[in-house]
Amino acid sequence: MNSEPLDAVPLVARLRLLRTRLGLSQEQLARRLGVSFATVNRWESGRSRPSARARLAIAELEAAGTRGEAPADRETGRSREPAPTEDRPGRLPIAQSSFVGRERELAALSELLTRSRLINLTGPGGVGKTRLAIEAARRWAAGSGPGGDVVFVPLEAIQPPRPVASVLASRLGLRERLGVSWREAALAALRERCGLLLLDGAEHYREEVAGLAGEFLAAAPDLCIMVTSRVVLGVPGEVCSAVPPLDCPSVAAGAREIAASDAVRLFIVRASDRLPGFSAADVPPHAAGELCRRLGGLPLAIELIAGWVGTLSVREILQQRVALLEYDPPGAPGSRKLADVLRASYDLLRPAQQRTLRLLSVFTTPFSLADAQAVAGVSEQEVAGVVRGLVDASWLVVTRGLEQNQFSMVETIREFATARLREAGEAAAARRRHAMHFADLAIQSSSSLAGTDVRWWATRLASAVDDLRAMMQWADENGEVNLGLEVSAALWRWWLTSGRLSSGRAWLDKFLTAAGEHPVRTSEESQRIGRAVCAAAVLAVENGDYAEAVRLATRAMHILEPLDRGEDLALAATVLGSAQRYLGDRADARRSFQTALDLRAAIGDRAKLAMAANNLAVLEIDDGNLGRARELLEQNLIIKRRLGEPRSIAIGLVNLADVLIKDGRWQAARTSLAEAAELAVGLPQIMGLVLSSQGQLEARQRNWKQAAELFTDAVAAYGIGGHTHDVIEAMIGLGSACRELGQPDEAARHLRTAEAMAHEIANPQLLAQVTAALAETAADAAQPLPGNLTPRQAEVLRLLADGLTNKQIAARLYLSPGTVERHLATTYRKLGLGGRVDAARYAVEHGLTQHPSRPML
């Protein structure tokens, strides 16, 4: 090893030189010196200087490296792996740049090397197969003692038609001998050296390598072969290990997690190689994370892009990354252009594989074989064969699933394939096929989401969410208003169950506005618009936009009534009833629900009929007719259970539990909710309802801690999707539980948020509830109420003075009539009152009716 006067070189360069000589990464050097990775990184970027002790250790290491010794690892005390000697033929190459991460893959390979004799590291060009294989071989050699010799054969450099065996022989330092073939000579030498043969870049010599590997393994029992290749060899005994891209941080990752991810670390290290002094502090972490994600974690792409930090900001690089990757990398001989690497692999594919690959680039998220078939427009059998070929050639990544596997492309590779798709003039047709396929899925999901397979459909749609968006975008951009109306009307149940109310409302609004610009001619067009208006009404009501829901539902009924008195009209009547109920117009709500019930009875759809009856039962709960409500709900559940629709059964069980809680039948309510919880798995909206009811159940039993936890979970289950009404209810419950737990500030915070939301959606019931809860919180801190009344007793008295009956008070305060009666009996006794007239007079005389923080509605 040739030595340089290290002391004469500046420290930054000196450390790099030392690492290059010893073939160490920053982490490995840090370990040797007994300091952290961050410290070495700071030294190398010039942000700090080593202490006197560290300088001594560096000098020791330099001296040992110059003498060709193996210096001890400060952390483990073990001698580090031998530095490859120049004179040994076939030695592993010395790394020119630091090695980053890959600990998981290295551990897996080290284990694999103990039990497999032919390992093929597969993966697309630039994913890091060669670097990983060399690092794994280096560690293998270090751990294998004297017999652990590695022969490295770079096949990339072969000039055809030179046979692989002759290259191997020359890497082994063999000379040509008369009567002995290169194969025989190489085999004899390998048997003697009995180590690990590393054949790097076998994709262009697949058959030759496959033949050699088979022969060598049979004849040299102690030999292991590791191959790197963009394609599978297809030899018996071959163990394929797909090299994944470097780990990228998730979208939700925090700054620390971003900085720790392998992809971002490689970017920072290479950027600091390019621009000394550059460090993680020079990049907004989220921009670095996003950049690496957009590059698909492909090391080659990351390295090439990092070369631009001297010229452009990271945000500029992010925006222009596709064009930047097309440039010839400046400087560095031997460096590669990503497009060329990919082009070379692409040229190896058969025309049918190339065509399918191009078409599959329209998928932005993982897709199934059936999706691929729809977009490729070929038979099931044909697509399976082509997809297998693309997987074997590392173009597609497989994610294994229980029911079906999913396929995807690394982002930079997808961009390459998209460019080929455009070049071939196939982009418009591919997007159309993609849109039609997902439009079909959306339309099919409409009824299926109300059926027995709801969970399967919810998962299916969740995995296709980006494709569904792309499909609607396509419809919008291409003026396909009818398709847009049809799919957005079909997707309301999905938007509802998955909590995507706002986005659903926006799509419906977009297509309805577009449709408004054209005159409606046929009844089919009217029906399509009527359905979409009805879907918009459903989402509006669940979103808490009641006035808009009434307007839309009335409009939908107006459009649909003359066309067909079927389920569409019944749904519109149901939505109208819900909005009216939330607005406090119970009589109107009852009429609308009855209309829906009559329509459904005429159609004879038992499932829908059960839903209509359920809604009437809810009105009975509101009116305090708990016995009647329970009877209706129980009858309904029998029908729902027979039909076996999980979503509908769960809603029925939650409603029944509501009645049972109000009636004080805790155990029965608990059983109902436990069953509902099982049915709600995978359905966030329903899970929110169940958790909220479980919270109510605990609250009624004064188990405030459990109640607070359940309400918190309920709010989380609803997410930010827009189930405003339900979120407010859960937040009121949470606020009240916090108050009881002696956390008045927390309570006030939740209740104020709930109050603001209730005001926004102008819901009188919720406003009444939240005002009462706030009053109780305020009363805790305020003067005691007259006659030592509790806030609840004062509340009941106020409503009594307003002329409400016990049943009406119960409904207003969401109590059972029995509870109201008990409150009144205690109040009369406490205050020595003779009856209702006395009580009303007392309330007026003591200012209870004017209390500003008491409910006014």
Ligand X SMILES: Nc1ncnc2c1ncn2[C@@H]1O[C@H](COP(=O)(O)OP(=O)(O)OP(=O)(O)O)[C@@H](O)[C@H]1O
List residues binding ligand X (CB under 6 A). Answer: 97, 99-102, 123, 125-131, 201, 228, 230, 266, 299-300, 303, 341
As a whole number of angstroms, the distance between CA 490 and CA 462 comes to: 15
Whichever of 228 and 827 has its CB closer to ligand X, that residue is 228
> Binding marks (x or -) toward Mg ion, 201..230, rule CB under 5 A?
x-----------------------------
Contact flag: residue 361 with Mg ion (CB under 5 A) = no
Whichever of 95 and 462 has its CB closer to ligand X, that residue is 95
Residue 412 binds what, of Mg ion, ligand X, none (CB under 5 to 8 Å, by partner type)? none
Shortest separation between residue 477's beta carbon and ligand X, angstroms? 37
Question: For Mg ion, which stretch binds (CB under 5 A), given 200-208, 576-584, 741-749, 818-826?
Answer: 200-208
Q: Does the N-terminal peptide bond of residue 330 adopt cis geometry, omega within 30 degrees of 0?
A: no
Beta strands 150-154; 118-122: pairing state: unpaired
Whichever of 129 and 183 has its CB closer to Mg ion, that residue is 129
As a whole number of angstroms, the distance between CA 429 and CA 359 comes to: 9
Cα–Cα distance list, 55 to 46, 58, 778 (Å): 14, 5, 67
Shortest separation between residue 395's beta carbon and Mg ion, angstroms? 16
Whichever of 84 and 201 has its CB closer to ligand X, that residue is 201
Count of helix runs (H) and strand runs (E) in the chain: 42, 7
Shortest separation between residue 130's beta carbon and Mg ion, angstroms? 3
Residue 50 binds what, of ligand X, Mg ion, none (CB under 5 to 8 Å, by partner type)? none
Shortest separation between residue 258's beta carbon and ligand X, angstroms? 18
130-149 residues in contact with Mg ion (CB under 5 A) are 130
Residue 131 binds what, of Mg ion, ligand X, none (CB under 5 to 8 Å, by partner type)? ligand X
Tokens coding 243: 């090299």
112-131 residues in contact with Mg ion (CB under 5 A) are 129-130
- Other beta carbons less than 10 A from residue 71's beta carbon: 19
Question: For Mg ion, which stretch binds (CB under 5 A), given 68-76, 194-202, 341-349, 772-780?
Answer: 194-202
Residue 294 binds what, of Mg ion, ligand X, none (CB under 5 to 8 Å, by partner type)? none
Alpha helices in 562-721 (DSSP H): 567-582, 586-603, 606-622, 626-643, 646-662, 666-679, 684-700, 704-718
Whichever of 230 and 750 has its CB closer to ligand X, that residue is 230
Shortest separation between residue 5's beta carbon and ligand X, angstroms? 28
Burial of 194 (0-12, 13-18, 19+ CB in 10 A): middle
- Other beta carbons less than 10 A from residue 704's beta carbon: 18
* HSE-CB for 663 with a 13 A CA cutoff: 19
E strand or H helix at 484, and its extent?
helix 481-490
As a whole number of angstroms, the distance between CA 535 and CA 686 comes to: 19
Whichever of 240 and 848 has its CB closer to Mg ion, that residue is 240
* HSE-CB for 628 with a 13 A CA cutoff: 12
Residue 414 binds what, of Mg ion, ligand X, none (CB under 5 to 8 Å, by partner type)? none
Shortest separation between residue 228's beta carbon and Mg ion, angstroms? 5
Whichever of 245 and 688 has its CB closer to Mg ion, that residue is 245
Residue 97 binds what, of Mg ion, ligand X, none (CB under 5 to 8 Å, by partner type)? ligand X
Residue 100 binds what, of Mg ion, ligand X, none (CB under 5 to 8 Å, by partner type)? ligand X
Whichever of 123 and 855 has its CB closer to ligand X, that residue is 123
Shortest separation between residue 124's beta carbon and ligand X, angstroms? 7
Shortest separation between residue 270's beta carbon and ligand X, angstroms? 8
Beta strands 397-399; 406-408: pairing state: antiparallel
Residue closest to Mg ion (Cβ): 130
Shortest separation between residue 126's beta carbon and Mg ion, angstroms? 8
The DSSP line for 549-595 is HHHHHHHHHHHHTTT--SHHHHHHHHHHHHHHHHTT-HHHHHHHHHH
* HSE-CB for 471 with a 13 A CA cutoff: 26
Whichever of 156 and 440 has its CB closer to Mg ion, that residue is 156
Whichever of 203 and 740 has its CB closer to Mg ion, that residue is 203
Residue closest to ligand X (Cβ): 128
Residue 102 binds what, of Mg ion, ligand X, none (CB under 5 to 8 Å, by partner type)? ligand X
Tokens coding 309: 């930090």
Q: Which residue's entry shows tokens 């033949």?
A: 211
Q: Check: CB of residue 241 under 8 Å from CB of residue 401.
A: no
Tokens coding 258: 């971003």
User: Contact positions toward Mg ion, by CB under 5 A?
Assistant: 129-130, 201
